[in-house]
């Protein structure tokens, strides 16, 4: 009997020790994953649970939003332009496709309707206003699908669950006076999303994504969810604020969210009779040029993920090169600079002339500063440029980050002329204009060419874009200046003519009368 008790006791001790050992043998990674998964599963249940999620075939919505567009103000030192957007769309979860439409008014009054349709592997973006369609490259399709997956918590949390192996517990934080459970997961593109769940309600409060951005440098993009309401058996947030670097980038309110609307097939079809433009998005394509005159080159349209394509121009003087605009990013500038050196070797790029301070046309300025170029601009832009180049970029260091050079800036107020006896370029400040208080036009009188950005309403295809007072102001100033112009090289997309501009102004004036 005593021997049996000893054996039982021995076995019990072994089992207890085995249990303790099993608990202790879990790694930090395993413990972090387990806790994160528990938080995620509670968050899913708080929204309605997987069973109710899976009963949703499609999500239809209507929204209104305000976008404070940093780097798009009238003046470089001014407040951002608040761009309104009326949106609507359908996420067809069953069909694995989506449709989104945004109607907006850009700086200066140009009205656009832009739709985006993506499936698993294909997609297009449509300039509804001008009836032009641009197929999306594969990387742009993937990017748009990730945007759609992150649009609502119901889809975002299912994405996180599908990436369960990457789930990790980060700890507890206080946000807006309430305790949060914080976890993270890695999405399919490698981006790390941090999720905050309210400890009391288990509802998703916000998400964070770390990035390295042109204006902010190392900064966090936050999506903040509030005003949860029941839609069927699922809770949906009707208010979403996006912040970048702590500043509001989007303030969006859903007017309506509905489930299982069974959308019409026509929503996912390209507009009828639309002109089809080049592919949008994807990797930067090789830079191509159009020779406009001796030593004058137009840098043909460079693609983005949307309907806007960017161009610039350069002039090869006897001993140096002058470039107009540095659109989009340093990567674009590096490619353009390489093309310039290939085309006109052994000449330094001495000057870069940004037409205005808006970041889509100045986003690649760091590449030219790293090249040793002097920036020629109007007075109010100098401090803005100084601020831009002082921003560190630790995640994506460019040439200027790795090999800093001092900034060289020359300013002019109204007009400046460059000539070497053979080439002549006249720079005019056409501001104030409804698009920007200071905006530069480059005029080449010998060949009757001007280069401008955002003042001439051409898109990539033949049809002109929306009209506004911006173009009227530009046209009337050209008439008063009595310049001899045949070609207008636009910073958006393509070459145009004075007659095209005149017709756009006529349309703009007619539209203004209709709007009265």
Q: DSSP readout, 141-185?
A: HHHHHHHHHTSSHHHHHHHHHHTGGG-EEEEEEEETTEEEEEEEE
Please write down the HEC assignment for all residues of 424-439: EEEEEECCCECCECCC
Contacts of 348 (CB under 8 A, 6+ apart): 320, 321, 371, 372
Candidates 98, 99, 104; CA nearest to 129 is 104
Local confidence pLDDT in tens for the 516 residues of the chain: 555 544 445 444 444 554 444 445 689 999 999 999 999 999 999 999 999 999 999 999 999 999 999 889 999 988 999 999 999 999 999 999 999 999 999 888 888 999 999 999 999 999 998 888 999 999 999 999 999 999 999 999 999 999 999 999 999 999 999 999 999 999 999 999 999 999 999 999 999 999 999 999 999 999 999 999 999 999 999 999 999 999 999 999 999 999 999 999 999 999 888 989 889 998 999 999 999 999 999 999 898 888 889 999 999 999 999 999 999 999 999 999 999 999 999 999 999 999 999 999 999 999 999 999 999 999 999 999 999 999 999 999 999 999 999 999 999 999 999 999 999 999 999 999 999 999 999 999 999 999 999 998 766 665 666 778 898 999 999 999 999 999 999 998 789 999 988 888 887 777 777 766
Q: Let me know: does 107 contact 431? Beta carbons within 8 Å.
A: no
Measuring CA to CA, which residue among 443, 449, 459, 444 is closest to residue 491?
A: 459
Question: What pLDDT, on the 0 to 100 scale, is given for residue 436?
Answer: 95
For residue 304, the model assigns a pLDDT of 84
User: For residue 357, what are the β-bridge partners?
Assistant: none
- For residue 423, the SS3 value is coil
- Provide the pLDDT for residue 5: 47
> Is the full-model pTM beyond 0.75?
yes
Conformation bin of residue 246: beta by default, left when phi > 0, alpha when psi is -120 to 50:
left
In whole angstroms, give the CA distance from residue 109 to residue 106. Answer: 6
Q: Kindly report the number of other CB atoms within 10 A of residue 396's CB atom.
A: 14
Nearest to 197 by CA among 238, 229, 156, 230: 156
Give, to the nearest 10 degrees, the angle between helix 498-515 and helix 469-481: 130
């Amino acid at each position: 009997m005593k021997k049996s008790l000893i054996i039982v006791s021995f076995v019990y001790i072994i089992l207890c020790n085995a249990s303790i050992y099993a608990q202790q043998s879990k790694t930090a990674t395993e413990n972090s994953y387990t806790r994160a998964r528990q938080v995620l599963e509670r968050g899913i249940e708080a929204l309605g649970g997987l069973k109710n999620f899976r009963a949703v075939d499609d999500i239809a919505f209507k929204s209104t939003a305000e976008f404070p567009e940093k780097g798009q103000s009238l003046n470089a030192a001014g407040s951002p332009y608040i761009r309104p957007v009326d949106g609507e769309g359908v996420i067809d979860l069953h069909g694995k496709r989506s449709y989104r439409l945004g109607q907006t008014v850009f700086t200066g009054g140009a009205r656009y309707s832009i739709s985006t349709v993506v499936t698993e592997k294909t997609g297009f973006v449509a300039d509804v206003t001008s009836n032009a369609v641009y197929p999306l490259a594969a990387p742009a399709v993937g990017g748009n699908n990730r945007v759609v997956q992150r649009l609502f918590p119901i889809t975002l949390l299912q994405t996180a669950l599908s990436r369960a192996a990457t789930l990790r517990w980060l700890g507890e934080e206080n946000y807006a006076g309430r305790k949060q459970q914080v976890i993270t997961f890695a999405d399919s593109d490698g981006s790390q999303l941090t999720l905050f769940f309210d400890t009391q309600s288990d509802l998703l409060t916000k998400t964070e994504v770390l990035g390295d951005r042109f204006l902010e440098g190392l900064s966090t993009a936050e999506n903040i969810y509030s005003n949860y309401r029941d839609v069927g058996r699922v809770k949906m947030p009707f208010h979403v604020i996006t912040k970048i670097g702590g500043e509001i980038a989007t303030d969006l309110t859903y007017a309506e969210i509905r489930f299982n609307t069974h959308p019409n097939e026509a929503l996912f079809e390209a507009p009828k009779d639309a002109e089809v433009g080049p592919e949008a998005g994807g990797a930067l394509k090789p830079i191509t040029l159009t020779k406009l005159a001796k030593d004058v080159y137009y840098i043909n349209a460079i693609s983005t993920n949307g309907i806007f394509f960017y161009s610039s121009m350069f002039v090869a003087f006897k001993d140096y090169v002058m470039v107009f605009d540095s659109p989009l990013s340093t990567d674009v500038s590096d490619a353009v600079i390489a093309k310039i050196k290939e085309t006109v070797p052994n000449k330094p790029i001495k000057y870069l002339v940004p037409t205005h301070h808006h970041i889509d046309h100045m986003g690649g300025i760091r590449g030219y500063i790293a090249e040793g170029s002097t920036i020629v601009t109007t007075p109010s832009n100098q401090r803005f440029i100084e601020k831009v180049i002082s921003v560190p970029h630790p995640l994506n260091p460019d040439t200027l980050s790795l090999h800093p050079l001092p900034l060289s800036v020359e300013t002019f107020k109204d007009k400046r002329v460059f000539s070497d006896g053979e080439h002549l370029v006249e720079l005019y400040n056409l501001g104030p204009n409804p698009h920007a208080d200071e905006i530069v036009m480059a005029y080449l009188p010998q060949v009757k060419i001007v280069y401008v950005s955002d003042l001439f309403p051409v898109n990539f295809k033949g049809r002109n874009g929306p009209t506004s007072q911006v173009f009227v102001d530009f046209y009337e100033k050209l008439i008063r200046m009595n310049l001899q112009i045949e070609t207008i090289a636009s910073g958006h997309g393509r070459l145009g003519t004075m007659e095209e501009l005149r017709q756009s102004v006529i349309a703009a004036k007619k539209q203004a009368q209709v709007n009265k």
